[in-house]
Amino acid sequence: MRTAGVLMPVASLPSDYGIGCFSKEAYGFIDSVKESGLSLWQILPLGPTGFGDSPYSSFSTFAGNPYFIDPDQLVKKGWLKKKDTEKYDFGKDPGHVDYGKIYDARFKMLRKAFKNSGIENDRRFKAFVKKNSFWLNDYALYMSIKTHKKGAPWLQWEKDLRIRKKDAVRKAAEKYAGDILFYEFLQFEFEEEWKKLKSYANKKGVKIVGDVPIYVAMDSADTWAGAELFQLDKDMKPKAVAGCPPDYFSPTGQLWGNPLYDWDHHKKTGYSWWIKRFKRMFEFYDVVRIDHFRGFDSYYSIPYGSSTAVNGHWVKGPGYSLFDTMKKELGEREVIAEDLGILTDSVRRLVKRTGYPGMKILEFAFDPGADSDYLPHNHIKNSVVYTGTHDNDTCLGWYRTVGRKDRRFIDRYLDIGDIPEEEIPWVFIRNAMRSVADICIIPMQDFLSLGSEARINIPSTLGNNWSWRMKKNAFTKKIKRRIREMVGLYRRGSDIPE
């Protein structure tokens, strides 16, 4: 069945608390998605973020972001008073997340709710901690130590803690028992609220598409507690790190700095860590989009300590064996393969063998000198078409800045005449919707006809990323009606207008 959806980060939702969260606005957004005839809501990773605020650099691949906990639900439970939620400064700009203020205010408020919760006596909380002990114990301890070390990454901790000597870990667990309980409480409340919101979406006929980064962060509980999973030396320092090679856009490549997996170890253990990871992700999401899918075919390895990615080299990854194991353990699941970038024949074969749909990005399509796979006439049914992603400029912002030759080709190919500028994104949306691709997902900013001011992320930069927020009431009846008509016209929903 042909379907359509919207790409919208949770953090970008409007709310009264400086950042999008699992609040009434999130439920209202689901209602709007349903009213628009859409059936998919794609979000970015839900993990707790650190320096740089990137959801792709989380303190744990299994944990949830405490920023998304709704203060109003804490009030309803009697753990806070309404005045407790109003006395903090979460930032005054409704169109922008001020992460500095969010960090300072959010945890003070959450600690007060924790103290009032009496959560240690809650049977459901105890059951949650027991069920999730395989990751939660290490994560809660890691965050507690990190908090008392003023956020220092674990590579800077004293050696006994850094290499996890049993006595040092035991003493830390005893010393920080109160903080450990607090971080367990945050994860319990996060999961309660998220599952409630996801259930609401599913009952409305809306599936959640979640994003799973291929790599974990160096400064994470995953790396600190799972040294055997990664290419680390005896002092827990990485032998090599992840990135991308030099190309036209980046002459020195991209140095991501994530630890690389020891794939031999993972294969010997039947990919048990990956199975646990995917199992949890499918508890969070209905459809999983796997980021940087080509890294499973072969990955780029850069010597640790390098200042650029120039001296890296390609190494063979696990290939199909990981996904074969996942299918045997978890059954057939809905997965999207992020197969962007420079692809080799072996990557294409891997994507085809898994059966997962790949991605087609319209903003990548319009090279006047080439017949790109991303051009609509080259799309295939088993794929997902986007106007752009979280890493691209908005459709309007991109169109404003393309070169003259590219612009001329775009205008001819899409038959863009003399139309108002705010209509430009809708030309791209229409061409995505009419594509033969089974799935079409459009960034919310394109539905809103916004420019570069609404861009989510500029890769390989630090600063004003991940901070755009949608204004309240921006998702108007007019926009919803227009989406619904297009969904019906191109048969991407069950509601076909007459």
**240-255 tens-digit pLDDT:** 999 999 887 688 998 9
Q: Are strands 298-303 and 240-244 parallel, antiparallel or unpaired?
A: antiparallel
Q: Is 338 assigned a catalytic role?
A: yes
- Exactly one of 53, 291, 297, 446 is catalytic; which is it? 291
At residue 51, the pLDDT reads: 83
The pLDDT of residue 201 is 98
What is the DSSP secondary structure assignment for residue 345, as one 8-state letter?
H
Is 291 noted as a catalytic residue in this protein?
yes
Q: Give Cβ neighbours of residue 185 (< 8 Å, ≥ 6 apart).
A: 114, 117, 119, 125
Distance CA 362, CA 48 (A): 31
Residue-wise pLDDT tens digits, 346-401: 999 999 999 999 999 999 999 999 999 999 999 999 999 999 999 999 999 999 99
Distance between CA atoms of 37 and 34, rounded to whole angstroms?
5
Q: In Å, how far are 56, 67, 91, 432, 444 from 46, measured between CA atoms?
A: 9, 10, 21, 27, 18
Residue showing tokens 């030099």: 246
Q: How do residues 10-30 score in pLDDT, each as one tens digit?
A: 999 999 999 999 999 999 999
pLDDT of residue 495: 58
Residue 494's pLDDT is: 67
Q: How far apart are the first and last CA of the chain?
A: 20
Class of residue 372 by CB neighbours under 10 A (exposed 0-12, middle 13-18, buried 19+)? middle
Task: Name which of 438, 423, 439, 440 is nearest 482 in CA terms.
Answer: 423
**Polymer length of the chain:** 498
Residue 465 CA, distance from chain mean position: 13
pTM above 0.75, yes or no: yes
Q: Give the DSSP letter of residue 470.
A: P
User: Of the residues 391, 406, 411, 438, which is catalytic?
Assistant: 391
Confidence at residue 343, expressed as pLDDT on a 0 to 100 scale: 87
> Taking the CA of residue 282 as centre, how many other CA atoms within 13 Å lie in the half-sphere pointing to its CB?
16
In the chain, the amino acid numbered 482 is R
Helix (H) / strand (E) containing 303? strand 298-303
Backbone angles phi, psi at 330, to 5 degrees: -115, -5
Which of 25, 338, 363, 446 is an active site residue?
Answer: 338
The pairs formed by 455-463 with CB atoms below 8 angstroms and a separation of 24 or more are 455/392, 455/393, 455/394, 455/397, 456/9, 456/12, 456/390, 456/391, 457/54, 457/390, 457/391, 458/391, 459/254, 459/391, 460/250, 460/254, 462/52
- Give pLDDT, residue 496: 52
pLDDT tens figures, 53-104? 999 999 999 999 999 999 999 999 999 999 999 999 999 999 999 999 999 9
Task: Provide the residue-wise pLDDT of the chain in tens; the chain has 498 residues.
Answer: 899 999 999 999 999 999 999 999 999 999 999 999 999 999 999 999 988 899 999 999 999 999 999 999 999 999 999 999 999 999 999 999 999 999 999 999 999 999 999 999 999 999 999 999 999 999 999 999 999 999 999 999 999 999 999 999 999 999 999 999 999 999 999 999 999 999 999 999 999 999 999 999 999 999 999 999 999 999 899 999 999 998 876 889 989 999 999 999 999 999 999 999 999 999 999 999 999 999 999 999 999 999 999 999 999 999 999 999 999 999 999 999 999 987 899 999 999 999 999 999 999 999 999 999 999 999 999 999 999 999 999 999 999 999 999 999 999 999 998 999 999 999 999 999 999 999 999 999 999 999 999 999 998 788 889 999 999 999 999 999 999 999 999 999 865 554
- Residue 90 token pair: 């979460």
Q: Cα 23–26–28 angle (5° rounding)? A: 110
Maximal CA-CA distance, the chain: 72
